[in-house]
Each structure stands twice: as structure tokens, then as C-alpha cells.
Amino acid sequence: MAVHLYPRPRDYTRGTFKFTSTPYGNKPRREDLIATVRRGVTGTSMPRFNRISDKEVSAVVDYVMVLAQRGELEFQLAMEADASEELDPEYVPEFVEDVVNRWDSAKSSLTQPMTPQPELTAERAKLGRIAFLSKGCNKCHGDDGRGHTKDNIGKDSWGFTTRAADLTSGMLHGGQDPVDIYRRIMNGINGTPMPGFKNALQKEPETIWDLVAYVLEVSNRRRFGEKIPAGLMKPYDTAANAAVDQTDGE
Ligand code: HEC
């Protein structure tokens, strides 16, 4: 069914996972994959699996990890064979070790917020909006978080066109907890154009919490009855996009 779904289900074999608690570019921790299986990906066809036992979740996650690691190894061997025209079997164990090491080091690479979580007040959300506009979030996400901007288009590392989703949809793919949103902003999202802001906001770490407060406020607008023109931009649906872009005046 993959071709009919948007977003498409993940191809594990590239070893890239979006919703992680590790720094940008790192492998996910086992706990991250378990969290995704348990909570599902809201707003996509990935359901939540909260009725199956811990043992079964653990087993499927093991299998996903095997598929990812095997895929990465195959990809690297293919690149090596391509570059040197033949593959010397002597080097294969080195490649295996590389893959294993990357997954091993993710285990101890949990990122924590730079400052403890404050109360996410309306005041903070206001500061967050200012940061959202001044730090360039609006370039992709639009001033109102709906993502209706011309620059909001890119390629993901799986080769598909992608866009920043409508933050006002109330369906955050990477989890609704403040710390989940914090990690998306601090670490960026692997394989997508969403950059990490850890370095940019190192000197003002509280700003990340302001942004979290703003993202939460924006994502709850519909739930609280505010009427926001609907219309998620689907990259495959270019004619409809053009129409939305024009009426939007962005
Ligand atoms: C270069 C474009 C770009 C910029 C700049 C950008 N984003 Fe994003 N953002 C994206 C894309 C693309 C995604 C969707 C990634 C995906 O899951 O495919 C995204 C996703 C997110 C998500 C996760 C939503 C979810 O479903 O869980 C949050 C939160 C977010 N962005 C907040 C921000 C904030 C805050 C800033 C500014 C500090 C920012 N973004 C700057 C492109 C951008």
C-alpha cells in the first residue's frame, strides 16, 4: 500500500529514523523505536500498538533494528564495491563493525534539554512566537505555523519531496510531550529539511522552551475551536498546492 500513503511508511534499510532522542545524525535508541510503536505516528497511517505485550513490542523492534542494520551494511558494501570496482571480503568485518558501533554509541547518546522544563505559560508562548518569527522557523512553517510558504518544500533522504507539516493540525508526528517537541527543535529531524537549533540557541537555551510553548499553543488552536482554514499541503498534489499557494498570498 506504500505508494498510496502520504507520508509513506519508512524504509528502514537506510538506517535513518526521524523521531529520536539522540543528537542529529545519530542512530535512534531502542527506547525511541519502542515509543514510536507504542504511540503510533498521529496524523499518519501508522497506528498505535498499545495493546500488545512489552515482549512482543520488544521483538518487533529487534526485527526493525536488524532490517535497518542489514540495510545499512548492504548499502555501504555496495558503495565500496562501486568505488573500488570490486569488494575485498577482507574488509567486510570492518564495515560490520562500523554499523554495530554506530548503533552501540546511540545507546549512551540520550540528549536532555539544556535547561529544566519551566511552566509553559501563555507568556512563554508569546516569547515563542517572537522567536518563531525571528529565528527563521516561519520560513518553512509559515508565520501561522500552517506551512503554507513557498520555501516549504524539500527532499528527504529517501528521495521524496517533503514539507513541514501544518503545526496547527494538532497532530504532531514526533509526540505531544513538551520534551518530544523540545528534542525535535534542539536536534532537528533526521532525513528531513528540519534543522536542529542546538548551536543557534546554545546561548539562549530558554528560547527552546518558549518555542515549545508556542508550538503547543499553535497545535491546540483547532482543538480550542479556532477556525483555521484547513488544507495540508501534499507534495504529490501539485495542482491543488498551486491553488492553495495563490489564495494564501504567501
Ligand atoms: C528548512 C525548513 C525548516 C525550518 C527553518 C524549520 N523547520 Fe520545523 N520542520 C520542517 C520539516 C520539513 C518538518 C517535518 C519533518 C518530517 O517529519 O518529515 C518539520 C517539523 C517540525 C516539528 C515536528 C512536528 C511533528 O510533527 O512532530 C516541529 C515541532 C518543528 N518543525 C518546529 C520548528 C521550529 C520551532 C523551528 C524554528 C526554531 C523550525 N521548525 C524550523 C522544516 C523546517
* Smallest CA separation from ligand 1 atom 32, residue: 185
Tell which one of 8, 16, 140 to mutate to probe ligand 1, the residue whose CB is within 8 A of the most ligand atoms.
Answer: 140
- Point out the residues of the chain with pLDDT beneath 70: 229-250
d(CA 197, CA 181): 12
Half-sphere exposure of 176 (CA within 13 A, CB side): 13
**Given the CA of residue 191, which atom of ligand 1 is nearest to it?**
18
pLDDT at 164: 84
Task: Please answer whether residues 174 and 44 qualify as being in contact, where contact means their C-beta atoms are separated by less than 8 angstroms.
Answer: no
Q: Locate cell 526521524: which residue? A: 18
Taking the domain 122-248, which CATH number applies?
A: 1.10.760.10
Residue from 167, 173, 171 nearest 141 by CA: 167
Write out the residue limits of the CATH 1.10.760.10 domain(s) in the chain.
122-248
186-213 pLDDT per residue, tens: 999 999 999 999 999 999 999 999 999 9
Residue bearing the CA closest to ligand 1, atom 11: 164
How many angstroms separate the alpha carbon of residue 39 from the centre of ligand 1?
Answer: 20
Cell digits of residue 230:
484547513
User: Identity (one letter) of the amino acid at 181?
Assistant: I
